[in-house]
């Protein structure tokens, strides 16, 4: 099957990202409680939908999209597993060995790869760049809130993470919807903005 037979999987990936960040941000902001009902959305939308979109992007030869969607898909698989461990789903031995600071270092690792992806997003469109910029803010907030021992500072960065995650959800819903409608109608039905920067050839 040639590349032209593959549809653009970005809308699926963005919808998966939008759904999981919308539900997860509701807990961080304090509108909902607990993790139990976030886990299904983390596994099936945040993880699986993005992972599938990433594999399809790799099929199309899109290294940027494939890496981004697969990396964030695996992130949500890992986060959902961490929540299950913390809830005792895998037994009391694992639950008793939880150290949230280890998540902090994982968040730093994802911040590093996201910074590279943010540079790449400069040459895509404005909506996608803003999504990556907000993901940078999310991982900064998560990293500091997980590692900082000063309660007031940790809480401030937790709030940064919460509202950055909500912004990711809203931007991703728009970006995914624009991708579907622009491809469906074959024209720029919903604007996503021209790239901020294109490197010289």
Assign 9 to helix, strand or coil: coil
At 1 the pLDDT is 44
Q: What is the pTM of this model?
A: 0.95
Cα separation of 123 and 143, whole Å? 27
At 199 the pLDDT is 83
At 4 the pLDDT is 60
- Residues of the chain scoring pLDDT < 50: 1
At 65 the pLDDT is 98
At 198 the pLDDT is 86
At 156 the pLDDT is 98
Cα separation of 179 and 12, whole Å? 9
Assign 162 to helix, strand or coil: helix
Show the tokens assigned to 38.
């976030």
pLDDT tens-digit readout, 10-62: 999 999 999 999 999 999 999 999 999 999 999 999 999 999 999 999 999 99
Note the helical H segments in the chain.
10-29, 39-41, 50-59, 63-86, 92-95, 100-121, 126-147, 151-185
Cα separation of 15 and 27, whole Å? 19
Cα separation of 20 and 41, whole Å? 5
């Amino acid at each position: 099957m040639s590349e032209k037979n593959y549809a653009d999987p970005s809308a699926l990936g963005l919808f998966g990202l939008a759904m999981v960040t919308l539900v997860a941000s509701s807990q961080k902001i304090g509108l909902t409680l607990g993790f139990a009902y976030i886990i299904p959305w983390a596994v099936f939308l945040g993880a699986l939908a993005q992972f599938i979109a990433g594999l399809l992007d790799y099929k199309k030869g899109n290294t940027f999209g494939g890496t981004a969607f697969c990396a964030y898909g695996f992130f949500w698989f890992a986060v959902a597993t961490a929540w299950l461990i913390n809830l005792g789903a895998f037994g009391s031995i694992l639950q008793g060995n939880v150290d949230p600071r280890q998540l902090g270092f994982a968040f730093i690792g994802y911040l590093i790869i996201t910074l590279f992806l943010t540079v790449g997003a400069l040459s895509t469109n404005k909506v996608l760049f803003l999504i990556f910029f907000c993901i940078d803010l999310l991982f900064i907030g998560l990293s500091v809130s997980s590692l900082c021992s000063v309660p007031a500072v940790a809480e401030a960065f937790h709030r940064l993470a919460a509202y950055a995650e909500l912004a990711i959800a809203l931007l991703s819903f728009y970006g995914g919807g624009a991708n579907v409608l622009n491809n469906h109608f074959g024209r720029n039905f919903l604007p996503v903005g021209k790239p901020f920067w294109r490197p010289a050839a």
